Structure 1
């Protein structure tokens, strides 16, 4: 199996997890969709636990790059906040998927401790990024009504994740937009 097939497997598995949950697909499903034998999948990912670890590791790296890009391309906290909301919205794919952390959280009982820990690490990374953004917002005045950066970060992440679930339930990104309207309204720049 070449690198492109491995990437295709990971892309398909991630889409499956994000749209149907971790328990909503099997290696047989992946093999059929890609046109390979299950043994080929087992060569790179001996177990679904190994696959889930690779998925969350890749997701964390992509999200880290996305957050760094937002920080680089947007100077004010308000602009960064709007960009983060847009990043989360883009993960909805027209209401057909949720972010990988939300999808994994729903199927927590089926995951290895390593993956559960990594999901926690991803959430911590986002919370720290949000705290820094809110602290910047207090300094530059581009986000209104900031109370406490830690509480703001926790509330924002819960709102974004909950908005994902609601939009997926309705299969409508407009539900996400409605749920995040007040967050966007707080941005002054």
Structure 2
């Protein structure tokens, strides 16, 4: 059991690091393909990083997912540039670091909820939604902490909007994709 969780944690770490550098996209609906003779690809404006966190939680469970995110944070803080804007201990002063901290409880919450019920799209989407909510909650609390400690200027409301308001629609679309992928993979891997 421990070996399996360690393997899932390794997969989660690899997915999270990889997801940092891949932009989430979607294709045009099939009914538009005939009209334009091409398939259009549209950027969602977010990376696949959060999707990777939630996917590994839905597949590997709370322990493996949490361990993978702790490893991700440690890897990024010891100077490996695995975070979106680099890495290193100085990254703690970045407003986005709170969202990275939120990966740990998000992985646990999503992984816990994903295995409470029989895998269905609705339950997996709900698990992912709760994980996403915890990422944003921790991120917003961290921005508030930086503001109170005078580490953040007067543009803190703008920063909150940039990191917690604007990306939510794209992240919700990503959650839908993660729920479908997790459901499909759990049918293949676990049954």
TM over 0.5: no
Q: What TM-score do the two structures reach when normalised by structure 2?
A: 0.38
Q: What TM-score do the two structures reach when normalised by structure 1?
A: 0.38
| Bigger proportion of residues as strand | 2
